Amino acid sequence: MDSGAIRRRLALGLAVLTASGLLAVASPGHAQADDPCSGRQVRTLSFATGSVRVYKRDGFVCAVTVARNTFGRKAMSVSVQARGSRPVADSGQFTYHAGPVVVHAGHRCVWIRGSVGSSSVSSGWIMC
């Protein structure tokens, strides 16, 4: 194989990779590469020290608490409770995020809670 053919194949491969990367970044409403949840982002619950990102896919609800300040470990938590079920939670000392936690909600309401340090958020029953 001559050097011209090699260059053409490398250029084609680079073009395909670039196009697939642009499509992945441009798809709206889906989890970003740094988000541990899959599915469509349906809510963001913001509070003083962070936010809880809520995703939904095929009846499953996934939530992750993300800290605004990523310097050092801090107490963080996230929980999701489908109506009629017990909450599923993740808590501990984390640098960037707590979770993900996933529950099967189907068409039931969910209650989302999240905290970073001393600040927190509680959604009440949502997505009914």
Q: Where are the domains of the chain?
A: 1-30, 31-126
- Whole-model pTM: value is 0.72
Say if residues 67 and 74 touch (Cβ distance below 8 Å): yes
CA angle 35, 37, 39 (to 5 degrees): 115
The predicted pLDDT at position 18 comes to: 47
Q: Which helix (H) or strand (E) element contains residue 19?
A: helix 3-26
Residue 11 parent element (H or E): helix 3-26
Question: Mind giving me the DSSP string for 24-59?
Answer: HHH-TTB--TT-S--SEEEEEEEETTEEEEEEEETT
- Any idea which architecture 31-126 has in CATH? Sandwich (2.60)
Q: What is the tens place of the pLDDT at every residue in 104-117?
A: 999 999 999 999 99
| Amino acid, single-letter form, for residue 50 | G
